[in-house]
């Protein structure tokens, strides 16, 4: 009887060891998953912070482009035709433009030379000012592209352009809405819209695009 009791106690101790090892493995796996979750959360928060920083850096880039436009308005004829390569200004709306370069299904798309590599040898490459403006504090690099929202180049009074609606007259529901077609406007109508696109490249290869519509 005594020998049987010893065997029973030994069996109990062996089972306890097994359950303890299983519990230890489960705790280790849970701890590893928790650490990985925390690391992933911190990485996501860091990436979001870099994204927001790059997006906010687009505003000074747009201001630079708008200042360039204002300087050109001294001679309105300077904005009637596409500028020399590298000015970043185009007097038409560039309807086939692929700003982000992700629309690979469009064989006729126009790419923007954001990185100064001639769009990787693409056939239709839109030139912009290089090198981009670099923020000395953050290291963010910002470049811009300006398009006049007109169907073609030439004098804005003779080609179809997107313009603000007249402030007075017409249906009140239509006031302030962008419209297109020079034949709909009187001589008092303001100038055409200009589309300013900025691209900012920041830390961890974060890329952010902003778009601004402006008229004078």
Nearest of 52, 42, 56, 77 to residue 154 by alpha carbon: 77
Give the pLDDT band of residue 181 (cuts 50, 70, 90).
very low
Provide CB contacts within 8 A for 54, sequence distance 6+: 140, 200, 201, 202, 206, 207, 208
Burial class (CB in 10 A: 0-12, 13-18, 19+), 161: buried
Percent of the chain with pLDDT over 70: 70
Instruction: Tell whether omega for the bond before 131 is within 30 degrees of 0, i.e. cis.
Output: yes
The pLDDT score that the predictor gives to residue 113 is: 93
Q: What gap in Å lies between CA 85 and CA 67, rounded to an integer? A: 19
Q: Which residue has the tokens 């790059």?
A: 54
Nearest of 82, 75, 23, 61 to residue 142 by alpha carbon: 61
Report field, pTM of the whole predicted structure over 0.85: no
The pLDDT score that the predictor gives to residue 189 is: 55
51-55, 84-88, 173-177, 202-206: least confident range = 173-177
Q: How many helices (H) and strands (E) does the chain have?
A: 1, 10
Cα angle vertex 60, ends 56, 64, to 5°?
155
Residues 48-66 as b or e (16 or more Cβ within 10 Å = b): eebbebbbebbeebbebbb
Q: What gap in Å lies between CA 66 and CA 64, rounded to an integer? A: 5
CA 204 to chain centre: 15
Give the pLDDT band of residue 152 (cuts 50, 70, 90).
very high
Domain ranges in the chain? 2-214
DSSP state of 132: P
The pLDDT score that the predictor gives to residue 18 is: 73
Statement: residue 174 has pLDDT above 50: no
């Amino acid at each position: 009887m005594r020998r049987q009791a010893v065997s029973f106690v030994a069996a109990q101790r062996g089972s306890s060891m097994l359950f303890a090892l299983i519990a230890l493995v489960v705790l280790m796996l849970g701890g590893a998953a928790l650490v990985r979750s925390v690391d992933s959360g911190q990485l996501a928060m860091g990436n979001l912070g870099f994204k927001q920083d790059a997006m906010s850096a687009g505003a000074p880039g747009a201001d630079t482009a708008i200042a360039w436009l204002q300087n050109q308005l001294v001679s309105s004829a300077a904005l009637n035709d596409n500028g020399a390569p590298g000015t970043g200004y185009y007097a038409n709306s560039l309807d086939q433009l692929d700003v982000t370069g992700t629309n690979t299904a469009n064989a006729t798309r126009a790419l923007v030379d954001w990185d100064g590599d001639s769009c990787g040898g693409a056939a239709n490459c839109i030139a912009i000012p290089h090198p981009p403006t670099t923020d000395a504090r953050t290291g963010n690099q910002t470049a811009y592209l300006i398009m006049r929202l007109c169907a073609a180049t030439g004098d804005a009074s003779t080609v179809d352009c997107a313009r603000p609606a007249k402030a007075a007259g017409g249906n009140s529901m239509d006031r302030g809405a962008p419209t297109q077609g020079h034949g709909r406007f009187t001589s008092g109508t303001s100038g055409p819209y200009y589309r300013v696109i900025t691209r900012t490249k920041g830390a961890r290869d974060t890329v952010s695009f902003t778009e601004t519509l402006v008229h004078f």
